């Protein structure tokens, strides 16, 4: 009987250990969820710090991103920031729905388990007490029975002894009756205790303990169900944000698709377009003119009369050309303008006749403008480089022409918008003033006068600013157009110069008579009265240049 109770005690201890393991496992999973929450929070925090690190610090509108690749990257950063927010939502959901619920349930489980185990221990203790009482009554009954047997043996010995007195026999008989009576009482008590113990033991093993075990079983099953719910909640916390995370990822994909390399290239062109004219073509400098002139002078005529016809300037030039080895090297001079290149035309039969051409005037202009080869854009490039190092100017003159034009146009548009706002405010104040004049009880018209004056001052100031910026814009546009015209004129002059250089050799082979006739004709055609549409300074320069 006692063996069964001991076996039961062993199983009760096993259930005690199992329920404790279940609660420990629950707390272990709660610890896992807590660490996962910390990971999500740290992940979201690191993502936000990453986004903050790479997001631009826009101190002004000029620093705002314009390239599609940059805008796409910043959109990706915004989507990543939203993604970090969803990770925070996951952490909050896990903390509230999973971790918090697990910790509360673990506390309730510990309380319930303690109560059930106490009930089981109490039932076991009560059964042990009943068994002790039954065992004590049993031992007492056994002892009384032995005493009664001894009293009976003593009585029988005295009764059979002839030498024993009657008093001794009566005394032994009374003692036997007493022991027998006490044995009967202990027997009855033992029977009662045994019956009671058997009842309590049956109740313990068939009612109390099964009920306690059932409660422990239900508790363990609820723990398992709670774990299952927490597992599901753990996954649901992640699944709830999947649609929003998918939208964030779709936004990143759309940002990637929005990158336009052609548009970025055009922005680069617009940003760095200076408006400067490219350098002009270098004119051809014929250093062999002196050689051809010397050969021509020696082959046509060697007479002193023809050499005496050379003017003083040509003689001095030749003398300088001979002596430059011992002195300062003279600058290369342009070849003389020959009559063939100016006024002669060829006919199909090979003859030449004098005609008027506009080439002399272009040549004079070319000599004035390109007397010394230069690159006009170098000055602008140097100016643009040096001014960039200095502070920005109000008229944006530190910028290249095209960039200056864009900045001025942007400022004019902004000023026009401000002017429109001030005009609308002025109109509203005038309407309010009319209402106050018609209905004085609504307000004092004089109270609006300071605001009207301030608005008028703002309008005048904005109009002056617009006028000033429009003047600067007109100046920039005028310069840009002038550079285009000068470029076109320079191209024409360059073509004229090339034609003149190609005809230089054939001009030197002409007869002296034709040269003299062409010179007279050129002198006649270059008079101011004959060319009213050209400036006299050009003609005077040509006459001085070529001794006309």
Report the percent of the chain where pLDDT is more than 90.
38
CA distance 227 to 234: 10
CA distance 247 to 81: 13
For the stretch 193-246, pLDDT in tens is 999 999 998 998 899 989 999 999 999 999 999 999 999 999 999 999 999 999
**CA angle in degrees (0–180, nearest 5) for 339-340-342:** 60
Structure tokens at 545: 């240049």
Q: How buried is 44 (Cβ within 10 angstroms: 0-12 exposed, 13-18 middle, 19+ buried)? A: buried
CA distance 371 to 493: 12
State the Rg of the chain over Cα.
Answer: 62
Mean pLDDT of the chain: 75
What pLDDT was estimated at residue 231?
A: 95
CA distance 517 to 511: 10
CB 141 within 8 A of CB 190: yes
Measured from the Cβ of residue 356, the count of other Cβ atoms closer than 10 Å reads: 13
Report residue 490's pLDDT band, with 50, 70 and 90 as the boundaries: very low
- pLDDT higher than 50, residue 354: no
For the stretch 424-467, pLDDT in tens is 998 998 988 888 888 888 888 888 889 889 999 999 999 999 99
Which pTM does this prediction carry?
Answer: 0.55
Identify any residues that bridge with 344 across adjacent strands, giving them in sequence order: 354
What pLDDT was estimated at residue 395?
A: 80
Residue of 111 and 526 predicted with greater confidence: 111
CA distance 411 to 417: 10
CA distance 545 to 301: 25
Torsion angles phi and psi, residue 541, rounded to 5: -65, -40
What pLDDT was estimated at residue 367?
A: 46
- pLDDT higher than 80, residue 299: no
For the stretch 52-91, pLDDT in tens is 999 887 665 555 568 899 999 999 999 999 999 999 999 9
CB 332 within 8 A of CB 285: yes
CB 297 within 8 A of CB 508: no
With DSSP H G I counted as helix, E B as strand and the rest as coil, what are the percentages for the chain, rounded to 5?
80, 0, 20
Report residue 268's pLDDT band, with 50, 70 and 90 as the boundaries: confident
Task: Determine which of 136-140, 209-213, 334-338 has the lowest per-residue pLDDT on average.
Answer: 334-338
What pLDDT was estimated at residue 345?
A: 42
What pLDDT was estimated at residue 477?
A: 82
CB 489 within 8 A of CB 421: no
What pLDDT was estimated at residue 283?
A: 87
Structure tokens at 517: 């006739």
Give the mean model confidence (pLDDT) for residues 387-407.
Answer: 72
DSSP class of residue 504?
H
For the stretch 504-524, pLDDT in tens is 444 444 444 443 444 433 443
Give the mean model confidence (pLDDT) for residues 396-408.
Answer: 84
Report residue 129's pLDDT band, with 50, 70 and 90 as the boundaries: very high
Structure tokens at 139: 């031992």
- CA 133: distance to chain centroid? 85
């Amino acid at each position: 009987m006692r063996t069964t109770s001991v076996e039961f005690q062993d199983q009760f201890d096993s259930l005690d250990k199992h329920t404790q393991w279940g609660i420990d496992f629950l707390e272990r999973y709660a610890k896992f969820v807590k660490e996962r929450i910390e990971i999500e929070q740290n992940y979201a925090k690191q993502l936000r710090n990453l986004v903050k690190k790479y997001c631009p610090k826009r101190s002004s509108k000029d620093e705002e991103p314009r390239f599609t690749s940059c805008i796409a990257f910043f959109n990706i950063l915004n989507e990543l920031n939203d993604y970090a927010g969803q990770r925070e939502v996951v952490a909050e959901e896990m903390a509230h729905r999973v971790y918090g619920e697990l910790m509360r349930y673990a506390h309730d489980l510990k309380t319930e388990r303690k109560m059930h185990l106490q009930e089981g221990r109490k039932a076991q203790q009560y059964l042990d007490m009943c068994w002790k009482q039954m065992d004590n009554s049993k031992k007492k009954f056994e002892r009384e029975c032995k005493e009664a047997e001894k009293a009976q043996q003593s009585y029988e010995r005295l009764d059979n002894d002839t030498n024993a007195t009657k008093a001794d026999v009566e005394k032994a008989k009374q003692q036997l009756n007493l022991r027998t009576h006490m044995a009967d009482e202990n027997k009855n008590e033992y029977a009662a205790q045994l019956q009671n113990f058997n009842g309590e033991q049956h109740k313990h093993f068939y009612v109390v303990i099964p009920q306690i075990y059932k409660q422990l079983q239900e508790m363990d099953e609820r723990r398992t169900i709670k774990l299952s719910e927490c597992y599901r909640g753990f996954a649901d916390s992640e699944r709830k944000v999947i649609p929003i995370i998918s939208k964030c990822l779709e936004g990143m994909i759309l940002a990637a698709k929005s990158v336009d390399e052609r548009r970025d290239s055009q922005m680069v062109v617009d940003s760095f377009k200076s408006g400067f004219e490219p350098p002009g073509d270098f004119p051809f400098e014929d250093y062999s003119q002196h050689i051809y002139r010397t050969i021509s002078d020696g082959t046509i005529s060697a007479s002193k009369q023809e050499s005496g016809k050379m003017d003083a300037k040509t003689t001095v030039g030749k003398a300088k050309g001979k002596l430059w080895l011992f002195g300062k090297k003279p600058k290369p001079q342009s070849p003389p303008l020959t009559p063939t290149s100016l006024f002669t035309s060829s006919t199909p039969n090979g003859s030449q006749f004098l005609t008027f051409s506009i080439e002399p005037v272009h040549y004079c202009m070319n000599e004035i403008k390109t007397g010394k080869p230069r690159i006009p854009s170098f000055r602008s490039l140097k100016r643009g480089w040096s001014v960039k190092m200095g502070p920005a100017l109000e008229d944006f003159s530190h910028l290249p022409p095209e960039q200056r034009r864009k900045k001025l146009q942007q400022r004019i548009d902004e000023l026009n918008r401000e002017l429109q706002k001030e005009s609308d405010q002025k109109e509203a104040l005038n309407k309010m003033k009319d209402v106050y004049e018609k209905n004085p009880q609504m307000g004092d018209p004089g109270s609006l006068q300071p605001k009207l004056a301030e608005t008028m001052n703002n309008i005048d100031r904005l109009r002056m600013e617009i006028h000033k910026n429009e003047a600067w814009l007109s100046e920039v546009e005028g310069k840009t157009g002038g550079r285009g015209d000068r470029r076109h004129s320079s191209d024409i002059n360059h073509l004229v110069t090339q034609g003149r250089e190609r005809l230089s050799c054939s001009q030197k082979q002409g007869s002296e008579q034709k040269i003299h006739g062409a010179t007279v004709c050129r002198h006649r055609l270059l008079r101011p009265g004959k060319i009213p549409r050209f400036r006299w300074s050009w003609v005077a320069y040509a006459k001085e240049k070529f001794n006309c």
